Each structure stands twice: as structure tokens, then as C-alpha cells.
Chains A and B, each alone.
Chain A
Amino acid sequence: MKDMKFEYLIEGGDFVRAGHASSEVKKVLNQLNLDPVIVRRIAVAMYEGEVNVVAHAYRGIIRVKINPERISITIQDEGPGIADIDKAMQEGYSTASDRVREMGFGAGMGLANMKKNSDQLLISSEINKGTVVEMTTYMKSKQ
């Protein structure tokens, strides 16, 4: 089977569209008849990542690759970057603006939720340039 690939452009600050990419991917995964537990994990992880771009970055691209062995999601953004990744991974730590918090986000659970819902999570970032997040979910429960 050839890899299925999808690409989505995400605009920073666009809380109306936030989640549309994750929603589409969730629908595709459901159409592929994957284990619903895995679909939900991927949907939540991707949605948290998508909202992070909207909440913190200027813009981003999400690339999704699906094959029988794994689903890879790469989220690359242009933005302020993450100053301290270890701190950002801590539950409850958030650098969200007031506007973001008013929407119900900014609880500081995003990266922790992404880690919990993927089999592998890699984050790299450069201040004043942007952040790259790579999440992988293995289809055969390889931990």
C-alpha cells in the first residue's frame, strides 16, 4: 500500500478554523476502519497540536502520513518558538495569552496530552523561528 499523505495550512489566531485539519484526519482514519481507540488518540494529539499553532504561532503546516505500520504527524510552525521545552511539557505550565485563556484553552495540558496520546513525540524549537513537533502512532501497538 502506498503512503497516504495529507497537508494542511494553519493560520495563527484563527480560532474559527482551529480543529478543521484534525477533524478531516479523524474522518479519514474512521473511513479506513482503524481501531477506534487509536483514532481517538490520534485525533486528540493532532487537535492539541493544531490548537497550539493557532494559539502560539503565526502560521504552520501539518503533514500527515498514513501507512499500514504507522501514522506520522509533523506540525511545523513559524512563530516565537518554545523557550524551555521541558517546562512546556509540564502539566499546568502555559504561556497562553489572555485571549487564548478566554476561549477555554491555556490550561497547560496540550503537550502532555500529545505525549500521552502518541507512541513517540519529538519536539524541536528555535526562538524567534518556530517549532517542529513529530508524533508517531504505531498500528501494531509497538511501544
Chain B
Amino acid sequence: MKIAEIVDLVEGKVICGHDLLQKEVQNAFSSDLLSDVLTINKPGIMLITGVANLQTVRTAEMAEITCVLLVRNKKTNNEMLSLARENGLMIVECAGSMFGVSGKLYQAGLKPLY
């Protein structure tokens, strides 16, 4: 599904990477453990996480994750924003819980990696 649809569904706020709104994403991975995120070997997915720090953006850069969706109202800091912009990554913030957001997106058709 298109990232724009995902943003609507979770009532998200796009922080950066607006040029990626029409991009299609097939899969998502929900985790607060960055090393678990690095076990992913499929590029172009959405990461759903509550870890709002610079290393989340680095992890997304290394694993070639298209979009980081921050849940639980976690906020993007300036360092994260700089790095995301530098690497053409998208960050979206939303208020929902990880389970709530994951469930909603799963129902809407976003697929798990496993």
C-alpha cells in the first residue's frame, strides 16, 4: 500500500521524506530492539518503533528501510531529522500504541516479514 494511505490510517504526521508519500510499501516490522531490526534482509519496508534516537535512523539507513514510523508520540530530534534528510529517509510520528498501529496496518493489508 502507498505510504500516504498508511499515514492517513494511523493519523500520522510526516516529519520528513514527503517525496516518498506515493511510494508503495509491502511489509512492516515492529520492534524496539535495533539489533533485531538489523536481522531484516529485505529493503524498502516500514519500521514501526518507539525508539526515537539517532541510531534508529542509522539502522534504517543500513537496512535500507524506507520509512520509520514512530509510535507512542515519540518525537524526532534535530539530529535524527538531519540524518534522515541526508539519506532520503522518511520519518512519520503518530500517537498510537505499537500493537494498535501494527494491528490497524496489518488489517489494511501491510504484510509481516515473517
Does B39 lie within 8 Å of A109, measured CB to CB? yes
Please judge, given known A-B contacts A16-B79, A40-B43, A40-B63, whether A48 and B58 are in contact too, CB under 8 Å: no
Q: For the complex, is B53 an interface residue (Cβ under 8 Å from A)? A: yes
Please judge, given known A-B contacts A36-B43, A104-B32, whether A47 and B38 are in contact too, CB under 8 Å: yes
Interface size in chain B (residues, C-beta < 8 A): 23
Q: Which residues 29-78 of B sit at the A interface, judged by CB distance below 8 A? A: 32-36, 38-39, 41, 43, 49, 51, 53-56, 58-59, 61-64
Does B34 lie within 8 Å of A22, measured CB to CB? no
B55 contacts across to A, CB distance below 8 A: 15, 18-19, 51, 103-105
Does B36 lie within 8 Å of A23, measured CB to CB? no
Query: Of A16, A44, A104, which contacts B56 at CB under 8 A?
Result: A104
Q: Give the complex CA separation of A48 and B55 in angstroms.
A: 11
Q: How far is the CB of B1 from chain A (nearest CB, A)?
A: 23
Please judge, given known A-B contacts A15-B54, A15-B55, A19-B61, whether A40 and B41 are in contact too, CB under 8 Å: yes
Q: Give the complex CA separation of A104 and B32 in angstroms.
A: 6
Does B53 lie within 8 Å of A116, measured CB to CB? no
Q: Which residues 11-38 of A sit at the B interface, judged by CB distance below 8 A? A: 15-16, 18-19, 22-23, 26, 36
Q: Give the complex CA separation of A107 and B31 in angstroms.
A: 11
Does A113 lie within 8 Å of B34, measured CB to CB? no
Q: How far is the CB of A105 from chain B (nearest CB, A)?
A: 5
Residue of B nearest to A96 (CB): B35
Residue of B nearest to A114 (CB): B38
B53 contacts across to A, CB distance below 8 A: 15, 103-104
